[in-house]
Amino acid sequence: MKSITRTLLLAMLPAVPMASMATTTQCGPDVCYQYDETQAAIALLGNPRLVGDDLQFLPWDFWAISSDGTGAGAMSTIFTFDRVYTLSGADILGLTVHEEGDYEIVGHGGVADLLDMQASSNVNALDTGGASAPFNAAGDSSGPRIWTNTLSFNPGFSGPANDMKLSITNTLTADTAGSGDYAFIHKKFVLQTLTTVPVPAAVWLLGSGLGLLGLLRRRATT
């Protein structure tokens, strides 16, 4: 078997109220994603676009700001996939969310990001798991800065890990202490899904990067 990394780019859109439920399923060559496109998070994240096995949410407007000691400003959202599953039945070995963005602190203040991921099997209700990762910065940043935050999670289910519900919670916070202080944080994030995909023994290659490239090229020519 070969491990393949899939990428889901996520970004933010402004709030728009949603109405009745509408389930959408998008499938790539190996992985399918099912979600309710009327869930509240769509107002911030927008609808994703499928590219291969990847879902892309284009960056727009997900940030928190505070100034002049007005207290904490925060923005939070939860995006839920009712099903993330493999077409071949291969297990999802791991999930990694990599976040990045920019922030600035003038004077006394701070910014924070909290990322949380929860997974539960759609095959065995007893199989659940989750993880979280924080990012914090405080004090004058001397101008805009880039920040990153990475969360890796292995479902580690006792049963099959080829069909699961996945929720990703993102919370940004900015806080200031007094007059003249300013704090701002903005982000986008990337979700990588590591799966095992059966391939014929004749095309097994050592070196995951080269192996994946070869597999993708063969698919492109078929």
pLDDT of residue 183: 97
- How many structural domains comprise the chain? 1
Give the DSSP H or E segment for 4.
strand 2-10
> What is the DSSP annotation of 5-61?
EEEEEE---------S--EEEEE-SSEEEEEETTSTTHHHH---EEETTEEE-----
Q: 155-159 contacts: CB < 8 A, separation 24 or more?
A: 155/92, 155/93, 155/94, 155/95, 155/119, 155/121, 155/127, 155/129, 156/129, 157/121, 157/123, 157/124, 157/127, 157/129, 158/124, 158/126, 158/127, 159/121, 159/123, 159/124, 159/127
pLDDT digits (tens, 9 = 90+) for 163-221: 999 998 989 999 999 999 999 998 876 666 666 544 333 333 332 233 333 333 334 44
Determine which of 1-5, 43-47, 111-115 has the lowest per-residue pLDDT on average: 1-5
Q: Which residues contact 17 (CB under 8 A, 6 or more apart)?
A: 43
Q: Output 191 or 116, whichever has higher pLDDT.
A: 116
Burial class (CB in 10 A: 0-12, 13-18, 19+), 62: buried
Tokens of 122: 């759609």
pLDDT of residue 59: 56
Asked whether the beta carbons of 191 and 81 are under 8 A apart, the reply is: no
Range of the domain at 45: 2-221
d(CA 22, CA 175): 37
pLDDT of residue 10: 39
pLDDT digits (tens, 9 = 90+) for 15-55: 344 445 689 999 988 889 999 999 988 877 778 778 777 77
pTM (2 decimals)?
0.74
- Kindly provide the residue ranges of all beta strands, DSSP E only, lying in 68-218, ordered along the sequence: 73-86, 92-106, 109-121, 128-138, 145-153, 163-176, 182-197
Q: Is 208 left (phi over 0), alpha (psi -120 to 50) or beta?
A: alpha
Does 71 have pLDDT greater than 60? Answer: yes
SS3 state of residue 206: coil
pLDDT digits (tens, 9 = 90+) for 130-173: 999 999 999 999 999 999 998 888 888 999 999 999 998 989 99
